[in-house]
Amino acid sequence: MDSTGVLEVSTPVLSHAATTDPQLHSFKVTAGGQPCYLHTSPEFAMKRLLAAHQQDIYQIVPVFRDAERGHKHNPEFTLLEWYRVGMDHQQLMDSMETLLRGIFKTFNKPWHKPQRKRYTVLVEAVLGCDMCAVTAGKIKHYFESKGRSFPPGDLSVDAALDLLIDTFVLPDFAEDHFTYITDYPASQAALARTATDSQGNAVASRFELYFGSLEIANGYHELADADVLLQRIEQDLQTRKENALDAVTVDSHLIAAHQAGFPACAGVALGVERLLMLLSEVSSIDQVLAFCFERA
């Protein structure tokens, strides 16, 4: 980062506002009688810096996500998050490859050029139908035809797609290779821009990086438009309400930063423990933590 002129920054872990993403559960704490939150990523604060200074930045910081615990998850973990002004997500993937290749060289690990696979192509190859025709019911039927368990109750198509990718796509990714999944459905854009692909599908300018089947990083060609940002936040709050989730305090500073002028940029967050897991060839996150959550 330093050699490419990306400036190291440090932003607060404790915030008056929280992410509205319905899939992320912020730890709520009380500060002087006021509800506050531990951040789930430094995204919002770093975006405020980007709006103010229009400069490449990075940081390595602990983040906190409630209700996430398993062999690959710990409620407290570390993110390496960085933003490159003027880049789109494809260019960011290129620069990320240079970074990872350097790390692999340092650790004497064999390097294979990462593959890039489009989300739509992966899903269509499994289900054998056009992306626009995919429903949660179709995915459920596919699970049943393969003798795999599909959860009871209502699932959104995006949730069903998440399980489909995990169950039928990731296990086929080459072991010891990096693979990018790109062009997510627009409904999974989060804070990425959206575009139209060659088949006319609305897609998010977003990617995820996997090593084998292990998720390592998640990146966006960042959404800059303040009005679209507000729409996405509204939608999140609506989903939170429908699912009886905590109505979190919205980050008005983030909205103000976008209204003041947010630079065209791409950003990515990389799970540091996941990187350590693959470098040290262990299968449990506990093996790269001094003290896992149960012992913290």
Partner 1 sequence: MASFSTNEFKGGLKIMLDGDPHSIVENEFVKPGKGQAFSRTKVRNLKTGRVVERTFKSGESVEAADVMDTEMQYLYTDGEHWHFMNPTTFEQLGADKTAMGDAHLWLQEEAICEVTLFNGQPLAVSPPNFVELIIKETDPGLRGDTATGGNKPAHMETGAVVKVPLFIEEGEKIKIDTRSGEYVSRVK
Q: Nearest Cα to 180, choosing from 110, 62, 268?
A: 268
- For the bound state, the minimum distance from the C-beta of residue 16 to partner 1, rounded and expressed in Å, comes to 23
Site stretch for partner 1 (CB under 8 A), options 4-12, 26-34, 149-157, 233-241: 149-157
Segment 255 to 274, residues that bind partner 1, using CB under 8 A: 269, 271
- For the bound state, the minimum distance from the C-beta of residue 184 to partner 1, rounded and expressed in Å, comes to 9
Segment 169 to 188, residues that bind partner 1, using CB under 8 A: 188
Q: Which is nearer to partner 1, 8 or 158 (CB)?
A: 158
Q: Per DSSP, what are the bridge partners of residue 7?
A: 57
Pairing of β 214-221 and β 265-271: antiparallel
Segment 152 to 171, residues that bind partner 1, using CB under 8 A: 152-153, 155-156, 158-159, 162-163, 165-166
- In the stretch 64-93, what mask flags binding to partner 1 with x, by CB under 8 A? ---xxxxxxx--------------------
Number of residues that bind partner 1 (CB under 8 A): 31
Q: Which is nearer to partner 1, 95 or 239 (CB)?
A: 239
Q: Per DSSP, what are the bridge partners of residue 63?
A: 77
Segment 181 to 240, residues that bind partner 1, using CB under 8 A: 188, 190, 208, 215, 218
Q: Is 23 in the site for partner 1 (CB under 8 A)?
A: yes
Segment 50 to 69, residues that bind partner 1, using CB under 8 A: 67-69
| C-alpha torsion sign, points 209, 59, 4, 193 | positive
Residues of the shown chain interacting with partner 1 in the complex, contacts defined by CB under 8 A: 21, 23-24, 67-73, 148-153, 155-156, 158-159, 162-163, 165-166, 188, 190, 208, 215, 218, 269, 271
